[in-house]
Structure 1
Amino acid sequence: MSQQIVVIGDIGVMGNMIHIGDEAMFEALVDAMRQRGIHGITGISSAPIESSARYGISAVSTVGWPRERADRVERMARVTAAVSDSTVLANDDQAHAVIAAIAASDGVAIAGGGNMSTLWPHHIFERATIGAIAAALGKPLVISGQTLGPELDHPDTALVRKLLSSARLVGLREASSFALSERLGLGESITQTIDDASYLVDGAVGDSTEYCLVSISSHVAGAARSDVVVALAALLDALALDTGLEIVFLAHFGALDGPSRGDSVMHDAVMNAMKGPGRVVAPTDSVAAARLARGAAMVVSSRYHPVVFAVPAGVPTIGIPVDDYTGVKLRGALGNFGQDGLLPVAELLAGNGPALAARLWTDREIIRAEAVTLTTTARAMSAAWWDRVAAVFGAAGEDLHS
């Protein structure tokens, strides 16, 4: 009999808007569990009907959270209490379905993400509550591929520490998060991993000389967006001139069809400011996005997952952080596969982007060769991690990752 597990990720296409990276980490975990014989999967989603159809799984709604912290604390207490006394919640409360799914499962997995930060308090509460439900029901919990912080206030630190301490396994996807876990006094359940979606698409990659993939968020922190647009246009024009690559834009948070929204708004502005041409590819799903990144000759991105997809394949990559949070993630993703092409917004605005792009392009064969060496070990470590996750839920964990 196949094991039944509950998996939470920040999934669910709402208003026709998809977030490629969040979907990718969930999909990678689901794929890995299916390869290891776990086919009974219930996802926790903001759009359960959509997610059920997209992944061929059962799905329930998220617990749902009020805006104020005091109300979240009270909601968490009531939802946790409902495990043993359902009458503490209204009959139509969506948390009942979450509790029932966990009760019927062999365990719970929290898919990868960067949610354990005070920047996203409702995500901390969601995961902490799901962890508390699992503990109350005696179900094993696994937490995979996380970034911790770097911003964690005292109350959120307490929630994160308790959540991570309750898990059988915890995977952290960069060295800085692992170091933070040590400062939090967390124990031997912590493993330093890579992002869950690093091998969502795998296999040989041809030597592309055709395009540079660009994914830019509209979030530019304290910088003037108009200045960032001009600097990005200058960088991409210089890159195209030096390399002969076509500039291709892909929104990682954008509309599946229709008018430009999300990242596409920024892409439109950059293309309008460029002297040379650019082309847009509409987002569809995580696998298509991963293939596009892995097949590029170069990637320029302020989004995290284009970097995650590209660097295991040895694609020279420029990551553009706009704050400490994005800096931690991008530095980790690049460094895990031997790259260092970080271009903070201040450096971009100072006009240092073209020189960095030229260096990476010159070193592209060295970058590719180093990735080939590093990815052999990283792929094996990733497969071993998924074996350990499956084993927590009672699956055999056979070697199915060739």
Structure 2
Amino acid sequence: MRVALLCDVDQRVYHVGDEAIFTAEEQLLRARGHTVVRLSRQEKTGPGQSPERPEIPALVFPWPLEDRTRYLAEIRAVLDGRPEALDGGDKLFGFIEAMRDVDALVIGGGGGLNSRYGWLLSERLATALVARSLGLPVILSGQTLGPELMPSDRALLGELLELCTSVAVRDMASLRLARSLVPEHPRLGLIPDDALALVADIPQQRNVISVTLGADPDPLEREPYLQIAATALASLVSRTGASIELLAHMADPDDGGGDLALHEELAERLDGEVELLPLLRDVDAVQKVASARWVLTTRFHPAVLGAATESGVLALPLNHYGRIRTEGAFETLGLRDATVPCSALWDPVLQTPCRALIDELVDAVVADSEGEAQTLREGRQAALERQRSWWHHVDQVLRRDHDRKNCPGLPEMLTEQPAARPRFTGELTQLLAPYRAPDTEAVEPSAPPAPAVAIIMRTRNRPTMLDRALQDVISQSRQDWELVIVNDCGDRAIVEEVVDRYAELLAGRARVLHRTHSTGMEQASNVGIAASSAPLLVIHDDDDTWSPLFLQDTIAELEARPEVDAAAVQIQLVYEREISAGIVEEGGHIHWGQLDEVRLLEMMQLNRTVPIGVLYRRSLHEAVGPYDESFRVVGDYEFYLRAIALRPFAFVDRPLAQWRHRLVAHGDSANSMYAQDALHISADRRLRDRALREWTDQHGIGLPLFIAHTADRQSEQLQEMLADLTVRLERIEKHQLQQHQAQHSAPSLRRGAREVLAAGAHHGARVARRVLRRLRG
């Protein structure tokens, strides 16, 4: 049979892992007598590859959410018999014709079925829709599903799974997600990553550390990222005597960059024997990793291939997405809790690598390397048997899908969870505990550590935002939290549906309080705080978000500074709007970008921070009281004034929180500061009036009366000065324009007028700023 195989190949940036998946799946299909037709992006060919091969241009989608949503709708319309929905020259029509010449579609492995890479999810769904419209069987093999999914993309993913006759994913988290999305699907299974087929035979190992660092260090900054890697490598070299080999997995085949550029920077920081390898084609890169005795990586495939060939692997995923995938790969091979978040190896207060923890980690990997190799050897054999069983099933389905109802069922072994033992034990387990979610499925689950922080999440009838907010909390590098969701008089069913969606990942750490009468945000906060127990607190409204490092960095700040009760971070203001498909970002900037400290003086003028950016001690409420429930709005500002008057705030000068604004939203989706603008102004005045009265009750009205009169008089004088300067400026502009009219042609006149007006505007702005400074005192 002629099988169209869709993977992320022939991209502008060569990706060893994606190419290796295609190569392996192509071999597995050919070994069973099928002809493979490559679905190609046709942007570039990788190192040593020939562009002359049978292929069909892939149905590449635009990246922006609105554009990919529209294009998918247009494709649906065409497939429903309305070809006029797209321009006649659109690539879809040629794609449909090309697909008529194949007998089946296999959607290959990877990690693109999520909202992070939403255009890939849309592309795969559209490709499957075309295939099904032509009566072709569709198979999905070796994918990670999610974990980041907007509600609209969850629906698309569920639709894609329904279109597939058989589905195999590469981690248990993905299998559980698939079962929740399509609970009636008869053929959902678990397999290892398909690239394992390329290391069916383990090559002779070299005493080498194969190093692959992803080029993008997010959420870390570049300098900490490089320092962590250099420190870990120095520790590993000192214990093993191995040489270092820097092996890029993503870069432009012609222009470099990507991993190559980062590896060049890293090489300059390393001592001893270091080899900086060029970008290799997939099969050569796979053999390099497979033959290395040790592997250090932040990427997925080097960790998987290293573990599968019994190497000692130090896997340091950068984010929740990376960790879900890599942990799943280790579990398939017999080890669980096998990775460590890269950020856990960085001290955000001292701004240095955590050398003691790094040494503990390296010691554990080296000391148990033989015992671990035995576990991985057994796990590898079981994983390869799963792979053989799956591809035998695929072969049967491809030959019989015309009778879909009578297709063979999945072998039982593909539906079972592999046995896995914990990788680390003893003191190291305790050191890593804050970075691990409770294991609710362990045979002998241990009691989770007491939560370090309580997150109070206020919500009301905003399911899309609540969904995003829950994913935001789950994605934190620190996992020792409890979450109290306060449904402030919103629809109970909406909230419970969203929370139930993440029950597994929340792992018993969340509870929901439903309020039937809303009296304001501050009462909602107090109710949530009373229902929690952790010593640290933070208010996380459902429409705001964090950097994955927010909890880690702010908790560390308060642990290091017992003299302060609160830690505020730099705030990134993000503008966004909600559409039917999800939320679209439209830009942003640092809020109060010149702020280097949260000071009482400036806080008295105007609130300089917001709840999403402040973590504080519960004891602060014992000292200054709860949130004032008489304020329906600005209650956070009122509380901060009381708190900072008592003790200063620490300030973390990194943009770790996103305060999200929707300027044109209405109803429940609106920001309160816009929807309730008049109420905010009134509450702010009432707050200041109350504070003034408290002062005058003790000291009389004399000084405030004098200050008010003086400020009023100064304001009048400044307004008079501004009016006089405005008249003078207008005269100057008029005179200069008359001169230009007399001396220049019309084009020159227009150019001169612009210059004069620009100069005038600049001068006016200077005057205005001077006036404002005077008014502020």
TM-score normalized with structure 1 length: 0.90
Alpha-carbon distance between aligned partners in 2 of 1:264 and 1:204, rounded to the nearest angstrom: 26
**Are residues 344 and 356 of structure 1, via their aligned partners in 2, closer, same or farther at CA, if it must alter by over 3 Å?**
same
**1:35 has 2:31 as partner:** yes
**1:292 has 2:288 as partner:** yes
How far is 1:209 from its partner?
4.4
Contact residue 243 and residue 272 of structure 2 kept, 8 A: no
Tell me what 2:186 maps to: 188
**Are residues 56 and 33 of structure 1, via their aligned partners in 2, closer, same or farther at CA, if it must alter by over 3 Å?**
farther
**1:148 has 2:145 as partner:** yes
**Are residues 362 and 354 of structure 1, via their aligned partners in 2, closer, same or farther at CA, if it must alter by over 3 Å?**
same
How far is 1:71 from its partner?
2.9
Tell me what 2:243 maps to: 246
How far is 1:92 from its partner?
3.0
Deviates more, 1:332-341 or 1:235-244: 332-341
Contact residue 207 and residue 294 of structure 2 kept, 8 A: no
Alpha-carbon distance between aligned partners in 2 of 1:79 and 1:226, rounded to the nearest angstrom: 45
Matching of residues 3-402 of structure 1 within 5 Å: 3-14=1-12, 17-39=13-35, 41-47=36-42, 50=45, 54=50, 57-83=53-79, 84=81, 86=83, 88-186=85-183, 187-206=185-204, 208-256=205-253, 260-339=256-335, 340-349=337-346, 350-351=354-355, 352-394=357-399
Greater relative contact order, per chain length (Cα 8 Å cut-off, separation 6+): 1
How far is 1:204 from its partner?
3.5
Q: Secondary structure at the match of 1:220?
A: coil
How far is 1:293 from its partner?
1.1
**Are residues 265 and 48 of structure 1, via their aligned partners in 2, closer, same or farther at CA, if it must alter by over 3 Å?**
closer
Q: Secondary structure at the match of 1:210?
A: strand
**Are residues 390 and 297 of structure 1, via their aligned partners in 2, closer, same or farther at CA, if it must alter by over 3 Å?**
same
Q: Secondary structure at the match of 1:269?
A: helix
Alpha-carbon distance between aligned partners in 2 of 1:53 and 1:294, rounded to the nearest angstrom: 21
Alpha-carbon distance between aligned partners in 2 of 1:140 and 1:48, rounded to the nearest angstrom: 28
Contact residue 11 and residue 44 of structure 2 kept, 8 A: no
Counterpart of 1:320, as a letter, is L
Alpha-carbon distance between aligned partners in 2 of 1:212 and 1:106, rounded to the nearest angstrom: 44
Tell me what 1:400 maps to: none
Alpha-carbon distance between aligned partners in 2 of 1:314 and 1:323, rounded to the nearest angstrom: 25
- The superposition leaves residues 178-221 of structure 1 with CA deviations (integer Å, 9 ceiling, x where unpaired) of 11122224322210111111222321332x34201000012222
Aligned residues: 388
- The superposition leaves residues 35-58 of structure 1 with CA deviations (integer Å, 9 ceiling, x where unpaired) of 00002x222211178489648741
- The superposition leaves residues 208-240 of structure 1 with CA deviations (integer Å, 9 ceiling, x where unpaired) of 342010000122222221011112101101111
Contact residue 175 and residue 192 of structure 1 kept, 8 A: yes
- The superposition leaves residues 42-81 of structure 1 with CA deviations (integer Å, 9 ceiling, x where unpaired) of 2221117848964874112222323443332231232244
Counterpart of 1:20, as a letter, is V
Deviates more, 1:195-204 or 1:157-166: 195-204
Deviates more, 1:363-372 or 1:160-169: 363-372
Task: Please report the RMSD computed on the Cα atoms of aligned residues, expressed in angstroms.
Answer: 2.1
Contact residue 72 and residue 122 of structure 2 kept, 8 A: yes
Q: Secondary structure at the match of 1:142?
A: strand
**Are residues 48 and 138 of structure 1, via their aligned partners in 2, closer, same or farther at CA, if it must alter by over 3 Å?**
farther
Contact residue 63 and residue 118 of structure 2 kept, 8 A: no
Alpha-carbon distance between aligned partners in 2 of 1:329 and 1:49, rounded to the nearest angstrom: 27
Contact residue 48 and residue 59 of structure 1 kept, 8 A: no
How far is 1:301 from its partner?
0.7
How far is 1:86 from its partner?
4.8
- The superposition leaves residues 257-294 of structure 1 with CA deviations (integer Å, 9 ceiling, x where unpaired) of 66x41011221222212233421122221111111111
TM-score normalized with structure 2 length: 0.48
How far is 1:87 from its partner?
5.1
Tell me what 1:399 maps to: none
Alpha-carbon distance between aligned partners in 2 of 1:95 and 1:383, rounded to the nearest angstrom: 35
How far is 1:250 from its partner?
0.4
Deviates more, 1:271-280 or 1:297-306: 271-280
Alpha-carbon distance between aligned partners in 1 of 2:70 and 2:343, rounded to the nearest angstrom: 42
Alpha-carbon distance between aligned partners in 2 of 1:153 and 1:60, rounded to the nearest angstrom: 30
Counterpart of 2:55, as a letter, is A
Contact residue 206 and residue 291 of structure 2 kept, 8 A: no
Alpha-carbon distance between aligned partners in 1 of 2:45 and 2:92, rounded to the nearest angstrom: 19
What are structure 2's unaligned runs of at least 5 residues?
Answer: 347-353, 401-777
